[in-house]
Structure 1
Amino acid sequence: MTFKFFDKLSQEFSELLNDEKEYNVVIEVDKEENKKSFTAHSVVLRYRSSHFHKELGNVPTNENHIKTIIKPNISAQIFEIILKYIYGGIVDIENTNTKIIYELMINANELELKDLSEKLESYLIESKASWLKTHFSLVYLSIFDSNEFKDLKIFYNDIVAKHPNLIFESGDFTSLQETALISILKRDDLNVEEIKIWDNVIKWGIAQNPTLPVDSEKWSNENFEALETTLQHCLPLIRYFHISGEDIWEKVKPYEKILEKQLWDDMIQHNMFPNKPVKSLVLPARIISNPELPSRTISGLPLPELPSRTISTPRLTSPELPSRTISTSGLSSRVNEPFSTIINKEHVAELSSWIDRKSTAYSSSNIPYEFKLILRGSKDGFHPMKFWIMCHGHIGTIVVAKVSGTDEIIGGYNPLAWDNSIGGNDIETDDSFIFSLKNGKIKNSILSRVIDSSEALYYSNDQNIYGPNFGNGEFMMRSNVSNFIKDKVCLCDHDSRYSTCYEKPIRTTNERFSIVDYEVFKIIKKQIPNCTIR
């Protein structure tokens, strides 16, 4: 018969943590004003963490026989949780912010506390999937630094396969680790045309070689060799024989020198004589399908079904020139079409400065971002569902709306991805804000940053009524008749009697309103040409 007293053992070891009489280790964590010291016992640390076992062996003792370990990259809040786990085997995350739980998982992995790290990884996937999706860049770009987090890598690669733009259009894409990029390229179900995969692989490779000339036509053989070396593990994963002849001629040919001669000859032959065998390895075409859309109804009519996409490989022909895009100070638009019907370049400069948390606005000639139009109500429709369909998956967007009957231009910035599959969830972020822009009778702009990050945004599960919603209705677009311009139920409510998520109101009234028009822009960092100092 065996009697086990684990609860009592855990309790007494937890009490030992608070006993400073016989400690022989001091651990300093965090930085500057947040720096904090914890006392501990080397025998406990060594047997509970292989990381501390190795580190304690390399740290000298002082005259009082105390060893000091410094961990400036771990916050005091997180290390306190870790230390309680080491001593008592208990971690309480009941009311803990999800970002703290994520950081706790990362730090537990670094300290080789495998059981804790794996438990937190499972918890995030099972209970915080919506947070993982909306903080895609933060997590995805960090987990591939480690050989751990295999389940999280599978979780994210499944998302990338269905919505590749989440990573390809991310401002952090070129910071992606090579192992992460390779894991994406290996997917047979990567839901994007092969030529776009090629474009992004080239973009990534060039970014890893910042000294390459901006104009590839001026590249030397050494420049091409540098790019080829960088992409040596990625190039074999491209499905070259499923790229159209036109795209091969326009987009692949400029980089012909980084490809094996046999492969290039085989691509040309395949497009001229499709039925003739080639010597190069022919990978299968990727399985491309349209992401499933919710079965909703717009104005009583079902959403049209989009046909599945088929990739063909026509023979090489003289390519048609693409439609021309004019870009002025980072503001892209089709010829004869304004970049916006609501905001101007001065507004864009001001919004850009808010995104970068600048104390003064950028000049109109020095705007660091391109505002790419995703949706315009007067062009694409005012049904709330249109917003969720057209903005789904886009990271880093600004919504602007013009209030009916006034000169007001109001809106909000969402640094995360809009997601039409996680309705009914509060979305956490520290970087969102809402605003009112100076316009006509409105003399001064108003910036209101988020102060309660846990409810920065709300993704509704009724996408026939609700569009974008910042905070507790502090900027919310909605319509009871599925048309934002038809009924006055949009809201900018900032009632102090209830929980407020943003620091100040952006309107002088809480009255509900309709809109004249609205637009959604994707914010894209402009590429800065490489400069050579002579």
Structure 2
Amino acid sequence: MSFKYFDKLSQDFLELLNDKKECNVVIEVDKEENMKSFTSHSVVLRCRSTYFTKELENIVTNESQVKTILKPNISAQIFEIILKYIYGGIVSIENIEIKIIYELMIVANELEFKELSEKLESYLVEFKASWLRTHFSRIYHSIFDSNKCNEFKGLKQFYNDIITKHPNLIFESEDFTSLQEAALITILENDNLQLEEIKIWDYVIKWGIAQNSTLPRNLEEWSEENFKTLKTTLQQCLPLIRYFHISEKDVWEKLKPYRNILGMQLWDDLYQQRLFPNQPVKSLVLPARIISNPELPQRVNELISTIISEEHVAEISTWIDRKSTIYSLTNVPYKLQLILRGSKDGFQPKTFWNMCNGHAGTVVIAKVAGTDEILGGYNPLAWDNSKTQGTYMETNDSFIFSLKNGNIQNSILSRVQDEDRALFYYDPNYQKTCGPCFGNIDFLLESGVSDFTKDKQCSTYDSDYDFNYEKRIRTTNERFSIVDYEVFKIIKK
């Protein structure tokens, strides 16, 4: 029989953390004005982490017999949590932002606290899936930054499951070409990737060319050396393409210009297959991808938005129904049907009017460039691009909003107060520069160069007009551009 007193042991070691008498290690974290120093005991650090064991072996003591470790990439807030874990074995994540929990997981992994890193990873996947979906692109790229293939297996599986069903989320993202090769290979290996093989080929070529900035833009100007460069870049990806499941037309139009990177044997086999389909070929023939449903209909509780989370959907649904208590995630009465996504369909104002024309009961969601702000508006009426002159639309059910996100602590709801001027529908001439407009520019997406991401012309305020909504949804008067925007039709479940 043994008696275990881990709680007391943990408490005693936490008290040791505050005892500076025999500290012989200084750890400086963060940088510039945010830099902070923590003191510690080398024996504790070495006992708890192989990372610190290796670090301390390579650092020379100063005249006071103290070793200094520099970690400018770790914030003071994160490292304070790590130190308490090192000494007391306790990590409390109550009342901590999800972003901080994610960063804590990254740091725990870096410092080789595998137990803590894996626990935080499991917590995020199990309980914070909607946040992970909202921050899809950023996190997916970051978890493949490491050279260690065994890291973050749970998160990688979580995101690869999403990509399998919705591959355009990664292939059509703005930062697709910065994707790590290991991540791209993982995607290409998936037999269930729901995308036509010729489109996969196009994306792979796009990625490969982007890795070599010296390649000529015009393919007709490419030299033999240029093709060798691309072939070397894509040597791990090319064997994963299902060439024999690409149509003859696409082989001729899309593959033939790049036949120099395919190799003579593969090209001959592709040609032979068209002439003698029953005759065996020498090249490896991978099975066709399993496309469960080519149209990939959106389903409830699957990733729909790349900007907002399921919690945001519950909040917007509550506002639509004018409820005083926010719907629980299991009780949301509406689902979203995507009409338009800027990063997929383009950011021209005219695109909005063309694609949203005739759709009623819609919500516009926009992510502001350079901030954590997510702005939007709900329109119960049908958008109409056929107005011969600018027209105000009447309703008392529309509203605009700012959603809680990142550094934005609380959501803001602003209902229409001048129902005669709830929305403004532009005539065809102004549709070239102006998108959705709520009130007298209480919330407007606008661009003088016909691209909402290029110039700072979007607005939630104009001093020349009166407000038509209850309150402002931003704390600044400055105009802004956006990173992305989406328009959804609100559908009753």
Give the structure-1-normalised TM-score: 0.64
Instruction: Decide whether the 8 Å contact of 1:383 with 1:483 is kept in 2.
Output: no
Residue of structure 2 equivalent to 1:284: 287
Q: Deviations over 1:354-379 (max 9, x none)?
A: xxxxxxxxxxxxxxxxxxx4774553
Matched, 1:27 2:30: no
| Counterpart residue type for residue 293 of structure 1 | Q
Q: Would you say the 8 A contact 2:163–2:193 is kept in 1?
A: yes
Superposition pairs of residues 413-452 of structure 1, within 5 angstroms: 413=367, 431-432=371-372, 450=373
Match of 2:349 in 1: 340
CA distance in 1, matches of 2:348, 2:290: 35
Against the structure 1 CA distance between its residues 176 and 380, is the aligned structure 2 distance closer, same or farther, given a 3 Å change threshold? farther
Give the Cα–Cα distance (whole angstroms) in 2 for the partners of residues 84 and 242 of structure 1. 56
For residue 490 of structure 1, the aligned residue among 390, 398, 419 is 398
Aligned to 2:425: 516
Residues 59, 68 of structure 2: 8 Å contact kept: yes
Does the 8 Å contact 1:27/1:38 carry over to 2?
Answer: yes
Distance 1:27 1:158 in 2: 39
Deviations 1:75-113 (A, max 9, x none): 111011101100000001111111111111111101001
Is 1:258 matched with 2:167?
no
**Does the C-alpha gap of structure 1 residues 375 and 59 become closer, same or farther in structure 2, counting only changes over 3 Å?**
farther
| Cα shift at 1:339 | 4.7
The residue type equivalent to 2:65 in the other structure is H
Q: Counterpart of 2:459? A: none
CA drift of 1:286 comes to: 0.8
Q: CA distance change for structure 1 residues 524 and 234 in 2, over 3 Å: closer, same or farther?
A: farther
Q: Which amino acid aligns with 1:282?
A: V
Q: TM-score, normalised by structure 2?
A: 0.69
Equivalent position of 1:379 in the other structure = 357
Q: Distance in 1 between matches of 2:263 and 2:26?
A: 58
CA distance in 1, matches of 2:451, 2:194: 21
Residues 163 and 253 (structure 1 numbering): CA distance in 2 closer, same or farther, change over 3 Å?
same
Q: Is the 1:121–1:152 contact (alpha carbons within 8 Å) kept by the matching residues of 2?
A: yes
- Structure 1 residue matching 2:400: 3-state secondary structure: coil
State the partner residue of 1:120.
Answer: 120
Q: 2:471 maps to what in 1?
A: none
Match of 2:307 in 1: none
Measured in 1, the distance between the counterparts of 2:36 and 2:133 equals: 33
AA aligned opposite 1:256: R
Contact residue 216 and residue 222 of structure 2 kept, 8 A: yes
Query: How do 1:388-399 residues align onto structure 2 when only pairs under 5 Å count?
Result: none
**Which of the residues 174, 187, 190 maps onto 1:187?**
190
Per-residue deviation, 1:284: 1.1
Contact 1:492 1:510 in 2 (8 A): no
Aligned to 1:90: 90
Separation of aligned partners in 1, 2:139 and 2:42: 33
Q: Is structure 2 residue 396 aligned with structure 1 residue 412?
A: no
CA offsets 1:162-212 (integer angstroms, 9 cap, x no match): 000111011111111111111100001101111110011011111111111
Q: Residues 473-494 of structure 1: CA distance to partner in whole angstroms, max 9, x if unpaired?
A: xx42143x88897843111369
Taking the TM superposition and a 5 Å limit, the aligned residue runs for 1:130-529 are 130-144=130-144, 145=146, 146-147=148-149, 148-288=151-291, 289=293, 290-294=295-299, 339-341=348-350, 373=351, 376=354, 378-379=356-357, 381-384=359-362, 412-413=366-367, 431-432=371-372, 450=373, 456=374, 470=375, 475-479=376-380, 487-492=395-400, 510-511=417-418, 513-514=422-423, 516=425
Describe the SS at the equivalent of 1:102.
helix
SS in structure 1 opposite 2:399?
coil
Structure 2 Cα separation of the partners of residues 215 and 524 of structure 1: 27
- Checking the alignment, whether the CA contact within 8 Å between 1:50 and 1:112 is kept in structure 2 is yes
Give yes or no for contact 2:359–2:382 (8 Å, CA) kept in 1: no
* Counterpart secondary structure, 2:349: coil
Give yes or no for contact 1:25–1:69 (8 Å, CA) kept in 2: yes
Per-residue CA deviation, residues 332-391 of structure 1 (Å, 9 max, x unaligned), is 99xxxx9534xxxxxxxxxxxxxxxxxxxxxxxxxxxxxxx477455362343xx7xxxx
Percent of residue pairs bearing the same amino acid type: 59
Partner AA of 1:244 in structure 2: S
Partner SS, residue 177 of structure 2: helix
Go from structure 1 to structure 2 and tell me whether the alpha carbon gap of 1:492 and 1:339 turns closer, same or farther (over 3 Å shift): closer
| RMSD between superposed Cα atoms in Å | 3.4
1:295–1:106 distance in 2 versus 1, CA, 3 Å: closer
Hey, what's the Cα distance between the residues in 1 that align with 2:253 and 2:235? 22
Q: Distance in 1 between matches of 2:352 and 2:244?
A: 32
Q: Is the 8 A contact 1:194 1:242 kept in 2?
A: yes
Aligned position for 1:38: 38
Gap regions ≥5 residues in structure 2: 302-334, 336-342, 385-392, 403-407, 427-434, 437-444, 455-493
Residue 12 of structure 1 corresponds to which residue in structure 2?
12
The one-letter code matched in structure 2 to 1:477 is Y
Change (3 A) 1:248 1:375: farther
Task: Note the C-alpha offset of 1:19.
Answer: 1.1
Maintained 8 Å contact 1:493/1:510: no
Report if aligned partners of 2:358, 2:382 keep a CA contact under 8 Å in 1: no
C-alpha separation in 1, matches of 2:100 and 2:92: 12
Kept in 2: contact 1:25–1:39 (CA 8 A) = yes
Name the CA distance, whole Å, in 1 between partners of 2:168 and 2:95. Answer: 33
2:227 alignment partner, SS class: helix
The residue that corresponds to 1:467 in the other structure is none
Determine if contact 2:84/2:91 at 8 Å carries over to the other structure: yes
SS at match of 1:492: strand
Matching residue of 2:439: none
2:326 is aligned to none
Letter in 1 for 2:371: D
